[in-house]
Amino acid sequence: MSTPPRRRLVPAYLATHGRTAAAGTHGLDRLSVLHAAADLPAGLGGEHRQLWELVRPGALTLAEAAAHLRLPVSATVFIAADLAERGALSVRAPIPSAQPVNRDLAERLLSGLRALK
């Protein structure tokens, strides 16, 4: 038998319990900051547990979590949303005050970059 490239054992569509449509994804995107907030609710295992355990010691963005778990971003969004709905995950927007990028932020970013030199 031929050996196809090694891939994850559980396909992404199973990791999301078969869901493919967006339903209550909490505006999650790649830079949403995830951090475990409470105990893992009973009945959630597999990828849910892995994500929850990953962000238990500290916060990571959704993109980083997806990369570490080797899950597609789209699947990670669903899993994170599930956990957030159950209160097991705190989620915050990339910019804590939820303000749009303005000159003040861009200027501070610029001085941060200049300080790298």
Number of residues lying near another protein (CB under 8 A)? 47
Q: Does 25 bind another protein (CB under 8 A)?
A: no
Q: Which of 1, 42, 43, 45 binds another protein (CB under 8 A)?
A: 42
Region 5-24 residues binding another protein, contact defined as CB under 8 A: none
The minimum distance between CB 79 and another protein, in angstroms, equals 14
Q: Does 40 bind another protein (CB under 8 A)?
A: yes
- For the stretch 33-36, contacts whose Cβ atoms lie closer than 8 Å and that sit 24 or more positions apart, written own/partner, are 33/59, 33/60, 33/61, 33/91, 33/92, 33/93, 33/94, 34/59, 34/60, 34/61, 34/62, 34/65, 34/80, 34/89, 34/90, 34/91, 35/59, 35/60, 35/89, 35/90, 36/88, 36/89, 36/90
Site string for another protein, 44-83 (x = CB under 8 A): ------x--xx-xxxxxx-xx-xxxxx-xxx---------
Q: Which is nearer to another protein, 9 or 113 (CB)?
A: 113
